[in-house]
Amino acid sequence: MGMNGVLRPGHAQIRVLDLEEGVKFYRDVLGLLEMGRDKSGRVYFKAWDERDHNSIVIRQADRAGIDFFAFKVANKATLEKLDSDLRAYGVPTERIPAGEMLETGERVRFKIPSGHLIELYAEKTDVGNGLGLLNPEAWNANAEKGIAPIRLDHCLLYGPDIEKNVALFNEVLGFYLVEHVVLEDNKTDLAVWLSTSIKAHDIAFVRHPEPGMLHHISFLLESWERVLRAADLMSMNRVSIDIGPTRHGVTRGTTIYAFDPSGNRFETFCGGYQSYPDHKPIKWTMDEVGRGVFYHDRVLNETFLSVVT
């Protein structure tokens, strides 16, 4: 369905162990813009170049992780059609009323086979990026605080039955498979990267016995120099770095992974290639998976493989 159906990642709700510590991190270190707080205590953020009101929502909880990940769809008619298509496919859906999240319209929520909650929505208040729509400047100098990513880009989720996720995202939501890692049997997928656009991925999954787990939320930067700058800022702020700066073989992005104060992993990256639905998927085998994930080191970091929230 591509740009006529599911448009792009829209928001993620993340659980943090200490709300104000989380606010300080996402606002001051990562450099997201704080957009508001609701009656339930959730805090809303957006990246500076995003036009919609929010993309990251955090709430305090006893356990870190992700509550749900959402995609924006083209319009309300598309939302209704996808809700109907999901139910016809055998996936129960829940309607979340407009206004339950700040500045966000009605959402359709459903659980996918890996145990994650996914949402679809069509409406969110356009607050702009501070540049305007008439003769704008090249970037917003007032938003240059912290790492200052351009946008929420994608997420990587861990859980079982990822082949069923692929079928659901392909057959109902219009995504296509871009890359995958196969196990030693050369048939079963260990990991998959899916796109609803011309990006190398909008969501990815890794096979894992425990359902509903978060590996990372990813934010886009403009250049390799900005990735290096992000690493400097992480060091200055004593952020726990997992791996990088380095390059992926899969998707070819340049990247650094680190943890928020609650242990949720996040990625700041740039680059990668453009993909199209008519491209054949790229396959990686287990004997080369180290190079696929970390192209320079050619070996996997045990923390990267095992730590999820």
Alpha-carbon distance of 306 to 272, in angstroms, equals 25
Contact yes or no for 191/243 (Cβ under 8 A): no
Residue 138: other Cβ atoms inside 10 A: 6
Contact yes or no for 160/113 (Cβ under 8 A): yes
| Active-site choice (154, 180, 208, 215) | 154
137: annotated active-site residue: no
Q: What residue spans of the chain are helical by DSSP H?
A: 19-24, 76-88, 162-171, 224-236, 289-293, 302-306
53: annotated active-site residue: no
154: annotated active-site residue: yes
Biggest CA-to-CA distance, the chain: 56
| Active-site choice (11, 180, 215, 216) | 216
215: annotated active-site residue: no
> How buried is 264 (Cβ within 10 angstroms: 0-12 exposed, 13-18 middle, 19+ buried)?
buried
What is each CA distance from 266 to 8, 16, 79, 139, 205, in whole angstroms? 18, 13, 29, 24, 15
Nearest to 150 by CA among 199, 83, 205, 206: 199
Peptide bond into 261 cis (omega under 30): no
| Active-site choice (11, 208, 215, 248) | 248
Question: Could you give the 3-state DSSP secondary structure of residue 245?
Answer: strand
| Active-site choice (11, 180, 201, 215) | 201
201: annotated active-site residue: yes
Residue 198: other Cβ atoms inside 10 A: 13
Q: Which residues are catalytic?
A: 154, 201, 216, 248, 257, 267
